[in-house]
Structure 1
Amino acid sequence: MEKNPPRFLIVGPSWVGDMVLAQSLFKLLKQRHPDSRLDVLAPAWTHPLLARMPEVDEAVAAPFVHGRLDLGVRYRLGRHLRTRDYDRAIVLPNSLKSTIVPFVARARVRSGFIGEWRYGLLNDIRRLDKRKLPRTVDRFVALALSPDEELPDIPLPRLKPDTDKARATLSRLNHPLPATPVLGLCPGAEYGPAKRWPAENFAEVAKAGLAKGWEVWLFGSNKDKPETDAVQSLTQNRCFDLAGKTTLEEAIDLLSLTAAVVTNDSGLMHVAAALLRPVVALYGSSDPKHTPPMSSKATVLYLGLSCSPCFERECPLGHLNCLRQIGPERVAAALKG
């Protein structure tokens, strides 16, 4: 047992996928400091995700309006957190406003990369070497290390689902426990259309799963309803459409019941990978070298065309060939593999 276990405050990201990747940082800190306290400051809607991470002692709500400084709110929260006497704060976002709470909370060491004029607010400021740290997960973990320390073996994100709550969710939705394997499909991607494999291709994969006697479940938020509706229409409504019907916590637990998941590069892709589901991940406008699914059970399909990755929300050339040219047969082959 450490003589004086450290107290950590992590200012977390706001995207589901990035928060899953941040678990590698949490796990490393707990490996090195088993008796430490680890609090994560993050938007309330991410807290169900943090609840599935045993390393997190408390999720602290960030009551800020997206895109606004909210200086008074941040100052009051920082004052409130002073009593926790944090030894170290690690700031994962690169914005100026993300550094205000740990500064006001008087965390003794405040680590982060150079971003929007953060000198002074951070006292352990790092220059990001993108060649040395190509992946988001590498960058998160590096902030826990000394500046000259090499990256260790990175612990992989592993969410802890609650199967009893999964059963309760199915009961609420009047759906029986599956008697056959379940194929999960995640046809949405909040970032934009350039990350979405065409719905007709998802429908072909769904039809193949249904022909084998599998159930097919469609995952997503309300924003993904147009995509899941399209898949349902093309499969004569034979899938179980969960889009907009579950909380994030419920989606995590239900994804744990799947036998395989086909997904765009999205937050749910990272969730499925962290649940150790066999995943087929489709990349088009984004880069699998930057944010890959962190699992040996994941297969990435990526064409690497000359125009990709463009990181745009919509295809700037109007053809979306980076995803359209990945045929359903390639996904079927990956699922068999």
Structure 2
Amino acid sequence: MNTPAFLSALAPRRIVIFRALQLGDMLCAVPALRALREAAPDAHIALIGLPWAQSFVDRYADLVDELIVFPGAVGFPEQPESDAQLPDFFEQMRARRFDLAIQLHGSGGIANDLLFEFGARACAGFVQPEETVRQGCFIGWPDDLPESERYLALTSALGAPASDRQLSFPLDARDADEYAELVAVHGVEAERLVLIHPGAQLPSRRWPAERFAGVADNLAADGWQIAITGTVAETPLTGAVLGAMTSPALHLAGATSLGGLAALVAHARLVVCNDTGISHIAAAVRTSSVVIASGSDTRRWAPLDHARHLVLADYPACRPCSFRECPYGHPCALNVSVEQVVDAARTQLAHVLGAHRGAPHALHACGYPFTELPHAA
């Protein structure tokens, strides 16, 4: 029953989507969620996700109506791995009588086993090469596609083709107010602002703090205002970058909510970061970036706009990496030099200067509407 007419034939009124992942993963699914909403504008769409994702549902209220918190399961490392709460969870899901359950969590396998326990009238998702045939609309995991395109392949198979393939991150008045407070309290100058974001969830995905400091010092010497960003939990790391710098910088780790950080990114001229959530925010708000990709599968996770976003990566035999901590001396990170990142950053900033016809001190302050920021093409 895997045909383009699947969704229209089913005419689902209640849809549930399983994707219990972190911010960057969720942002990559936005184009697929948008396509699904366009194809089923009147359906109630629920997301089975991690507890933090309530903020995602609130921000994307036009795409998703409700969060159902996933209790965790063995094989799903984003939460404590236990099946203890699954029987009650499955009972609650079956009582909801969903018309369609969609597995957007990953390539298949145990995620599909869980999906069929939800008791929906029909199921859809991905299957791995050697996986048992699944009833419903299932496609083979498209391993050669970028992350966002994988999920659009599934929505297209469902009969929900994409009219817009771009990531998005809607910003609201609260985000604007938070940004204005950063300007007032910290002296943020949007016209020459460069963000340095040294964190990533996995240590194996982090470029060394002292190298971020070297990049920041070089760009500060060029006249750019440096702001170091991160979460409260990342303040030891951001503090290490600040401590290794010889130039002054704003230390904004823990100073913003997610929306405030996105507003800051939207006003910045450049983001220099690891391959992590903020790189997807930069792509969503169309701010140029330089991404140091350590360990990750760049074919899968690199931003689609290769002009606006430059990805620097080294490819030892152990890549892509499956380790939390690198056991091999971290060559994929150490083989990317400060000089390479500085050169890439200057290239991106030169495009920004060309777009705005001036040096850093001569650029006009932002003040742009959040929906259409005119960054460099």
How would you bin the TM-score normalised by the shorter chain? 0.7 to 0.9
Question: Residue 14 and residue 318 in structure 1: after superposition, are their counterparts in 2 closer, same or farther (change >3 A)?
Answer: same
Structural RMSD (CA)? 3.5
- Alignment-derived partner of residue 93 in structure 1: 105
Distance 1:40 1:251 in 2: 24
Q: 1:16 aligns with which of 14, 23, 46?
A: 23
The structure richer in helix per residue is 2
- Alignment-derived partner of residue 39 in structure 1: 46
Q: 1:81 aligns with which of 75, 96, 105?
A: 96
Question: Residue 96 and residue 130 in structure 1: after superposition, are their counterparts in 2 closer, same or farther (change >3 A)?
Answer: closer
Q: 2:87 aligns with which of 72, 79, 85?
A: 72
Distance 1:288 1:162 in 2: 31
Q: Which aligned pairs between 1:88-127 and structure 2 lie closer than 5 A?
A: 88-94=100-106, 98=111, 103=116, 105-114=118-127, 123-127=136-140
Distance 2:188 2:308 in 1: 25
Distance 2:311 2:334 in 1: 9
- Alignment-derived partner of residue 228 in structure 1: 238
The code of the aligned residue for 1:48 comes to: S
1:49-101: CA deviation from partner (whole Å, max 9, x where unpaired): 3433354232313151422222134224314533xxx3322112247665577
Distance 1:239 1:325 in 2: 23
TM superposition score normalised by structure 2: 0.73
Q: Which aligned pairs between 1:210-225 and structure 2 lie closer than 5 A?
A: 210-225=220-235
Secondary structure in structure 1 of the residue aligned to 2:149: helix
Distance 2:198 2:52 in 1: 21
Secondary structure in structure 1 of the residue aligned to 2:16: strand
- Alignment-derived partner of residue 246 in structure 1: 256
Q: Is the 8 A contact 1:255 1:272 kept in 2?
A: yes
Q: Is the 8 A contact 2:102 2:123 kept in 1?
A: yes
Secondary structure in structure 1 of the residue aligned to 2:17: strand
1:113-162: CA deviation from partner (whole Å, max 9, x where unpaired): 236x996986444332524xx32223222222338x99867611111112
Secondary structure in structure 2 of the residue aligned to 1:256: helix
Q: 1:162 aligns with which of 172, 189, 195?
A: 172
Q: Unpaired segments of 5 or more residues in structure 1?
A: none
Q: Unpaired segments of 5 or more residues in structure 2?
A: 1-7, 73-78, 352-377
Distance 2:321 2:332 in 1: 14
TM superposition score normalised by structure 1: 0.81
Distance 1:80 1:258 in 2: 47
Q: Is the 8 A contact 1:99 1:122 kept in 2?
A: no
Question: Residue 144 and residue 16 in structure 1: after superposition, are their counterparts in 2 closer, same or farther (change >3 A)?
Answer: same
1:209-267: CA deviation from partner (whole Å, max 9, x where unpaired): 33344332222224432321111112358322232343333322332222211111011
